[in-house]
Amino acid sequence: MVAYAPMRQRVVVTGIGCISPFGVGHRALVDALAAGRSGIRPITAFDTSSCRSHSAATLADFDPASFISPLKLRRVDRVGRVALACARLLLDDSSPVVGAGGSDEIGVALGTLTAGMDSTIEYLQGLTKYGPAGAPALLFSNTVSNAPASLCAIEHGLRGPNVTFNQREASSLAAIAYASGLIRDGRVKAMLSGGADRLEETFFKVQERFGPFARDETSRPFDLHRGGFVLGEAGVLLLFEAADAAAARGARVYGELLGVGMTASRSELNGWPLEPSGTARAMQIALDDAGVPSTDVAAVFAAANGSTRLDAIEAVAIRTVFGSCVVPVLSLKGAIGESGAAGAVGLAAGLLMLANGVLPPTVGFQTADPDCAVNVSSDLRSVRGRTFVVNAIASGGTNYSLVARAGADDLAA
């Protein structure tokens, strides 16, 4: 007997929920990116007087009480609040996709670098200072990083797969790759997926001891004078849905996820990849998976964040894959900082901006570096074509690449 594999489902994006350093909603994000604004500002959530760095791309104009009732609010940590708010924005944006009784066919895949840190540190501080009686029981459920994804599922009755990815800076693209795979294989109808991160004091100060932050507190992707990255906060969830299910309910479609690539690279402990081959392979695998030649790619949303080695390594990888094709390249990290959610921000921005034929500037880029010889610009650019690549590279050597197409006119093909 011959077993036949089911036809692979097409995966479309039918909703976006976004909270960024520029405010609530994806319109605020797109407008700020198009204007070349930076969300990097002085940190006010905790004291940084003992630090060399005092800035990050922190959230603006976000009031969690606008999304979560007071009774629930006190039981949810800071990352959970962002995730719940993004889920609410997404479901409002996607037209009715979840009925009153919830859904067995919709799940959640969340990428995060920092979920659980706030609660874990507060819990352990109480335990070590006052003993078992000083450890707040209310915090315990939030000490695990999968709490925000679980809370989103409980709040909206999403009884499909529920999983959390912690792949450092590549976390959100890891989650999206998993979510899209489930839909492609026909295992679920739809998935909420993306990333959410907030700054936590101890994490920030420990990171700073490794010395990766920009001394001038400005992220300069691909720039000759770059000297490190700046951390960021963000929450972006997208609704990924089987194309036939989206068509059946008449959903508005932002675009299609075409291909996924993932690899690992040699790296030092807590360091960026030592060579470009892993990053190049991730992009090529994603293009092959999508069935898209490199000449059809209109833009690359790079992982570059202003780190000396990372940006140069990625530039070589891009030239390896795209050769003499001078593909436009940009990085959002000068505007939104570095976080586990940054890849999801790039995907959302690509879908929204390429649909209108524009690419945002690379904030912080001023002087070209011969070691980063890619087609990057500090100006808003027009672009022909709507197919783009999004990269995420994690310290530790994980590489993810996605290929997506903005707009919906060719979904009937």
pLDDT tens readout for residues 326-383: 999 999 999 999 999 999 999 999 999 999 999 999 999 999 999 999 999 999 999 9
pLDDT band at 412 (very low <50, low <70, confident <90, very high): very low
- Architecture per CATH, domain 11-248, reads as 3-Layer(aba) Sandwich (3.40)
Rounded Cα distance between 330 and 350, Å, is 11
pLDDT tens readout for residues 116-133: 888 888 878 888 888 887
Higher pLDDT, 269 or 106: 106
Cα angle value 238/273/229 (rounded, 5°)? 65
Contact 367, 218 (CB under 8 A): no
Map out the domains of the chain as residue ranges. Answer: 11-248, 259-406
pLDDT averaged over the chain?
Answer: 93
pLDDT band at 413 (very low <50, low <70, confident <90, very high): very low
pLDDT for residue 175 is more than 50: yes
pLDDT band at 411 (very low <50, low <70, confident <90, very high): low
**Domain 259-406 in this protein, CATH class:** alpha beta
Q: Which residues pair with 110 in a beta bridge?
A: 164, 194
pTM of full prediction above 0.85: yes
pLDDT tens readout for residues 10-50: 999 999 999 999 999 999 999 999 999 999 999 999 999 99
- Smallest Cα–Cα separation from 114: which of 77, 141, 140? 77
Within this chain, domains 11-248 and 259-406 share the same CATH topology: yes
